[in-house]
Amino acid sequence: MAKSITQEFAKGLWEEIPPFRLVLGLCPVLGVTTTMENGIGMGLATTFVLLCSNILVSVLRNVIPSKVRIACFIIIIATFVIVVEQLMQAYASIYPLYLKLGVFIPLIVVNCIVLGRAEAFAFKNSIARSMADGLGIGIGFTLSLSALGAVREIIGNGTLTLYEKPLFNIVSFVPSFQPFEFMVKPPGAFVALGLMLCIMNVIGKK
């Protein structure tokens, strides 16, 4: 059954939300989610690339010969990734975020979600549907990255900061709180991701 455009958009937010339902692109998920801010930044950068590449792949889907489609997808994706990288470096307001995300921005090129959506969806669907799909999956990715980042930051640091402004400090609620530093270290990323996957599966079972 063909889905409506709204359904294509909404599926990225729950039904196929990456990386919990669509378990792809785990490298940036584990790497950058030490704070909520990093999660949001990475998510938005990926959303931009995903949206633009989905649109362009869909526009060109009748022109691209299927034998060289992967090479064409990579050209499109890599171009948009460099665009994001240059833009992030060019504006002083997001440059500090670029310094924190560092190598993970160029690595969006090899993010399976982007290539996966181009191959599995945009190459076979109309422009409007591909746009809805890219936007939905991208926003879903941003939400899960920032949720994971927020959980790790709160447990690991006891605070939540956005743009150098403290939003939340756990010490004001639980005065005896001691930061559980393990959560902001790489092994903590696996544990946090595993627990989130587990919770998502429990909720989804109903």
Partner 1 sequence: MREMITMVLVLSVMSLASGGLLSFLNNNYKESIEINELDFVKGPAIKSIFDGSTNNPIADRFKIMDGDIERTFFVGKFNGKANTVALEGVGKGYGGEFGIIFAVNVEEDKIVGVEVTTHSETPGFGANAKDDPTFVAQFKGLSAVGPFKISNDGGQINAMSGATITSKAVCDATSEAGQTYTQLKPQLEEKLKEFVQ
Chain positions contacting partner 1, by CB under 8 A: 63-65, 67-68, 71-72, 75-76, 78-79, 82-83, 86-87, 89-92, 95-96, 99
Q: Which is nearer to partner 1, 87 or 191 (CB)?
A: 87
Q: Which is nearer to partner 1, 91 or 190 (CB)?
A: 91
Query: What is the nearest approach in angstroms of partner 1 to the Cβ of residue 161?
Result: 18
Q: How far is CA 169 from CA 146, 149, 155, 175, in A?
A: 17, 15, 11, 10
Of the candidates 87, 79, 104, 96, the one whose C-alpha atom is nearest the C-alpha of residue 28 is: 104
Query: What is the nearest approach in angstroms of partner 1 to the Cβ of residue 133?
Result: 22
Q: What are phi and psi of 20, to 5 degrees?
A: -85, -45
Q: Which is nearer to partner 1, 20 or 98 (CB)?
A: 98
Query: What is the nearest approach in angstroms of partner 1 to the Cβ of residue 57?
Result: 11
Q: Which is nearer to partner 1, 97 or 143 (CB)?
A: 97
- Kindly report each contact of residues 90-98 with a partner whose C-beta sits within 8 Å and lies 24 or more positions away, as own/partner: 94/41, 97/37, 97/38, 97/41
Distance of CA 133 to the CA centre of its chain: 14
